Chains A and B, each alone.
Chain A
Amino acid sequence: MAIIPKKHEMPLQAPEVRAHNFEEVALGYTPEIAAEEANRCLNCKNRPCVNGCPVNIRIPDFIMKIKENDFEGAYQIISESSSLPAVCGRVCPQETQCEEQCTLAKKFEAVGIGRLERFVADWHNSHNTEKAKAPEANGHRVAVVGSGPSGLTCAGDLARKGYQVTVYEALHTAGGVLVYGIPEFRLPKSIVAKEVETLKELGVDIETNVIIGKTLTVDELFAMGYEAVFIGSGAGLPNFMNIPGEAYKGVYSANEYLTRSNLMKAYQDDPHTPIMKGGKVAVVGGGNVAMDAARTALRLGAEKVYIVYRRSMEELPARREEVEHAEEEGIDFRLLCNPVEILGYNNPDNPRDPKNGFVSGIRCIRMELGEPDAGGRRRPVPVEGSEFELDVDTVVMAIGTSPNPLIKSTTEGLEVNRRGGIIVNEEGLTSRANIYAGGDAVTGSATVISAMGAGKVAAKAIDEALSQK
């Protein structure tokens, strides 16, 4: 049988339609498309895709189940390794992980592993009526700090082994970056809620409104009887560029902008939490968060949205698919440009003019690529005298975050690196006995799946340590 060279296309909402709504962009495979795509898998012997997956899902095995039309069987295989399949199928950068390793990818397009994973998870969520069963308790208690991807994964893995797990979440809703950061059109909140619900069925207790480091300290958790603590508190304070004008009204960090829209639902027609809607928007940065912010701005009614990024398309760190979607929707990419100043409105004749102090534009300088830096990426260098201005009303800074100081400053003996990330060994163990950490709290801004991988590694190490007690 001849190999179909390309992946089956993902059905999408049309760009001109989706640019004005918050519904999911990708609609998902039908069972027919999924079965056909599954048929492209060679089921090769060396299974390189499994090693490409940070949580080592048995990929060929679940794909074989799809071929057999046993979608629930496929789900069971995925859920052995992943606590959040419906999430990963949507937001994992498969093209640089499992799919990059795919044998088929040497000559053709890789098998659409991510799309198949998503299909299987969605199929399970819409067909399965049985609740997950909590296993027999093993008597050990573990506390997890933060309910983002690393925390939920760690909690899920431990709960499946019979640990009594409590997850402490600072915000009012569980999910971490999956609910405050990633927008509805890329990851519907109902899907995150469903995955959280599954964990609760497994016996995981989720306590919202508890800020570890403030409400309770890590040491108090041990005093309360937890034998191990996993810190997955995520990234912290947003970075700014330290250029003039960043305090003008209308300048947001991506964290604030996305939190207002996603967690606080400011995208709704009559929201309780306000956000600036419409007008012209510049998003500074080139990662997935920048794409999310830019596409959110569009959906909030912006007439024009720019991405301002200091390197070229080749260095843009966002997933290719997200960049393509953004381009299709009409986001204007201003590459090799760097902001030097944010301009504000100021009426000299009327100090009470309500527009005073609001953003009126952004001044940028053109860049060219010079020598490669330590990371191998070519360093952008300003082109002298090339400044220009863009008229905008809103500026969103999406240039990364720095670790949150709350836990470090209240946990004696917890060592952090120069950038404030918690130092861990290969098992996720910190400088303190029985305290493990993973995700952005360790690495700084990274991906959902790498955080999940870290949660998984730590869960394994915690199990090994506690089961010997």
Chain B
Amino acid sequence: MSSALILSNVSRSFGETHAVDNVSISIEPGQFIGVIGRSGAGKSTLLRLLNRLVDPTAGSISFGDTNITALKGKALRHWRRDCAMIFQQFNLVDRLDVLTNVLIGRLAEHGVLSSMTMQFSDEERAMAIRALDRLDLVPQALQRAGTLSGGQQQRVAIAKALVQRPKIMLADEPIASLDPANATLVMDGLKRINREDGITVLVNLHTLDTARAYSDRIIAMRQGRVYFDGTPAQLTDDVVRDIYGLDGLQEFNAAVTSTSVHASVPA
């Protein structure tokens, strides 16, 4: 049923900059993958390439028998539904209520008429409320999304991704603008979805210890290329120093960038 997501020699350049440079990786279903690297290393572009918000300049992406890079129109929209995306700035519609924001995750299934009139079925509303319940947000369901805190908004975004019934969930620095407590809630939510629903999760992260604590596999990018691909245990301090180019710093400690509230992080 579920198949591997395979990137073969994928590149994307913006003018002279090679944001993603000849990347080949294979992602098995059900994995929790942390993507790390300096700002501008190509992490965001990599995620955007996967759900085709950005098109590659070279190479191809495939999922099972489907060539993702060739998808168009309805097939492309269905791929985006299957490959849900969560953003650093949440990208919710502030002036719509939380429930409608979650129901946006159902739009790929709708025709023009029901979508333009914002008509959703009872089943879809039930699905949305169940998704909100998993993230403890039912009391806020009828509030405007803009009135929620950052952490709550990010969980709304996760609920929206859930009702897409995706096979893969991409999260582009989902905790970068959150405080430690909310960051933990969001990461725990992603981990639970990964474990309970078997959804593949790819998360871009700035904080090393978060990546270590939550990921089964860590991919590190440097200047658009995959510099490291392995388990958290294989990610030694020497490798980290190379990834972040910390040659100047004598001592390096992940706790400096930590967003964790616990001394020991939950698995």
B is a partner of A: no
Chain B residues with a Cβ under 8 A of chain A: none
